[in-house]
Structures are given as structure tokens and as C-alpha cells.
Structure 1
């Protein structure tokens, strides 16, 4: 493999590579298609799954097939008019409302944090270090994830080496790359210390007890209180969040995911008077469409929104 090939591989994100590989495997193995494929074969493939797979999933499969053909030097059958027409027909025949995670409201964040604080106090009294570690990690994960609107993959990629903390003032996280950072320039994320629900205090409490000096911020913990050297798996963030919310008896906790933190913060910010440009800059969105997918239209009769007051100010 020469340097050009190495850089080409590096330019494609790992999740994208996995998605493309899964698309090719699904076409070849599960459907029984042959590569290189014809436009007719791709059209029949779409038709067979048009009623069972979402339009976004079908588009991802097409992207994977397109990449395979381009990489192998074959004409791309997914660009054929018949394929595009079949896809439009599927969208018209099987319209589906986009599923979105339930936003975590500020009042719910406060309830969950109070529940964690009560458990933390009980764990300290019981001298249970394994439980205390887990609770402090979960509290930091919850508050950092909410106040920065981080995705689950961003949370698990946070590194102690790339965090600068000023107790009582704030901290800065640095991520070498994000989904919106197409140029791989790296992005700093500032976070102030807060009078309530403070992510800086939560982060420091977790870091100090776990004695983290380098490596991932958020890690798994075994029953004996051993903190792993590796980061949490990206798929474990949502179950941790649901467990936190279930413990404080939040209704329908199973409907929440890691995107609930991002959506919850976006809705809080807009309800607190942020303009869309400020929100986009803070979160890191590059286009309005991406931002608006996370923001619900405000109900003028919703008293719970009106009761939320801004607290994102430095101590």
C-alpha cells in the first residue's frame, strides 16, 4: 500500500467504512446479488426492501454500493435514472415520519442529577468505591453530554490529555475531528462552570476519584471498581443514560437516547433566547437544516418551556 492509498483510507471515517462494508455484504450475501451490479439489479434490490427498510437506510446502501463500484473502477449503477426513479417511488409509496430521540428537558436533567447525588451520598456512607465510581462517571457523562450537546461518539472520544480545566471558571475539551469537521482541523469546545448542574465539578469529581491522568475520559468499570484503560463503547452511552433516567423514575425512559442530550440542550437554548446562529456555533453545526432537526417548534401554550430560565453563565 503506497502513501496515496493510505491517505485515501484515512480520509474515510471509520463508521462510514463500516457502513459501506455492511451495504455490500447485505447486497451480496443477504439479497444474493452479484458484483459488479447492473442498474436493473440495484433497482430490484431496492424494490425488495422498499417496504421494510427506511429511505435513509436504502440511501446508505446505495452509497456503499456506489463506493464499491468506484473503488473497483466500474461504472456506478446507482446513478442510473431507473434507480433514482425507484427510490422516489418508494419514498412516495411508503412515507415515514422521521424518528427522533425524545429531548431531555432541563427539569428532567435536574431531577436525574438530584437522584444521582442522593445515590452518591449513599455510596459514600456505605464506603462502596465501585458504586461511587460508576455514579460519578454517570453524572459527569450526563452533565457534560447535555451542556455541550455532544454526540455519543464524541463523548467516548474525549481524552483527559486534551482537557484544560480551571476549577470554578470552566474547561475546554479538544476533539481532533468531529462529524462537522470535514477538514480535520480539530475543534475546541468551551464549557463554563455553572451555579447549578455544573459539568466542571462533575468532571473533576470523576477524574479525581478515578485518578485519570491520560487516555479516555469515560470508561467502563467492573464490579470490583477497576477502571478500564479503554473508552466506553459508543453503543453503551444510550443504555447508561436510560438506566440513569429509569433510576429516577422518569416516565418512558426507554424512549431516550444519547441524542436526547443534544436535542434537550438545543431546545433549552432556543427557549432561553439563543438565536440559531449562536446555537449552531456552540454545537458545531455547519448548516441550518442540521440544527433545525434537533429543535422542536415551540408551543406557545407549553408552560414547562416558559418556566425554564437560562443558567448557562459562569460562576
Structure 2
């Protein structure tokens, strides 16, 4: 039971983290009360404060339902399997399958991510919680997103900050060379 719960949670954490380009602290801050998911439609998250929210006014983040690796389905599967109705979305699970009442701490996401990658046979030591965000930014750039769309979607206000997350080979048609030159 514990292994199934952990797998379901980890799939939700990775798919939501990737498709939203969330940082670890944003994933750790998600609450059920501020998340609205509709199967086959999409998911909305409200975060009252984030690193990029200098005025502390909060922001809503939306992600559509997808046909593969869907964050909406992953979220609903996790919430249903865990029987959660309020509080933090992502929580610790002990070896007996007991789910913590408290949300995961942002610093605990790195060992969680590395453990998941280890179980998949991937080289985990080179990854951190920011790797999820970086992966999304690189995927978006290689999929034809323009820098403005990516910045708006993820919540970056500074282009140089955004470009630090995109692998150099995928950076928007040499835009980084223009900025640095």
C-alpha cells in the first residue's frame, strides 16, 4: 500500500511540477483548498505568494488536461488514492502507508526526486528540484514557444532569468547570444 501511495504521489508531483514549471517551494505550497481540477478540462492552482510575486498579491496558474502524462489525472488519482480533502497536496508517507497531516517541506523534494529517478534507473545525483522547472522551460523552447509566452506561463518577469532555465542548444534561435553580445 505504501509503495502504491508513494508512486501515485510522485507521479502527481512530477507531472504537475513539469507541466506548470513550478519550483520546489511552489509545489510544497500547493493546497487542496486552492486547487480546482476538472477531469478532461484542466487544473487551476492559486498560490498566495511566490518568489516572483514581489507585491504578495498571489497568482492563479492554469494547466489544461492532456492526453498523455496528464497533470489533472495525476492530481485526481493522488487525491483520491490518499483520501485527502484539505491541507497540503504533497505530503510524506511512512513505510506503513500513513500519510502525514503536514505538507512536504521544499527541501525534502530533492531526495524524493532523486529516489524516484534511482528507482527508474536514471542518474539521480545530477538533478535537483529546479531540474523539473528547467526541463519544462527547455521542452517549451524546443517545442516552439516564444520567450514571452514561456515567461508569462511560468511567471518570470526577467528574460535573463528565464533563459537560465533553457538548455543552450534550445534557446530561442540565438536570443541568448543577442543578450550577451
- TM-score, normalised on structure 2? 0.91
User: What is the aligned residue count?
Assistant: 171
- TM-score, normalised on structure 1? 0.53
Which structure carries more strand by proportion? 2
Say yes or no: does 1:147 pair with 2:27: no
- Aligned partner of 1:237 in structure 2 is 109
1:299/1:275 Cα in 2 relative to 1: closer, same or farther (>3 Å)?
Answer: closer
Measure the CA separation in 1 of the matches of 2:72 and 2:113.
19
Which structure carries more helix by proportion? 1
Check the 8 A contact 2:141/2:170 in 1, yes or no. Answer: no
Q: 1:276 aligns with which of 147, 151, 157?
A: 147
Measure the CA separation in 2 of the matches of 1:175 and 1:296.
27
RMSD over equivalenced CA pairs, Å? 1.2
Secondary structure in structure 1 of the residue aligned to 2:136: helix
Flag the structure with more relative contact order, 1 or 2, with Cα contacts below 8 A and sequence separation at least 6.
2
Alignment of 1:131-146 (within 5 A): 131-146=3-18
Say yes or no: does 1:170 pair with 2:42: yes
Alignment of 1:3-82 (within 5 A): none
Alignment of 1:1-315 (within 5 A): 129-250=1-122, 252-298=123-169
Unaligned runs of 5+ in 1: 1-128, 301-315
Cα-to-partner distance string for 1:264-302 (whole Å, 9 max, x where unaligned): 0000000000000000000000111110111122269xx
1:272/1:299 Cα in 2 relative to 1: closer, same or farther (>3 Å)?
Answer: closer
Measure the CA separation in 1 of the matches of 2:120 and 2:168.
27
Check the 8 A contact 2:12/2:78 in 1, yes or no. Answer: yes
Measure the CA separation in 1 of the matches of 2:98 and 2:30.
20
Secondary structure in structure 2 of the residue aligned to 1:196: coil
Measure the CA separation in 2 of the matches of 1:209 and 1:242.
23
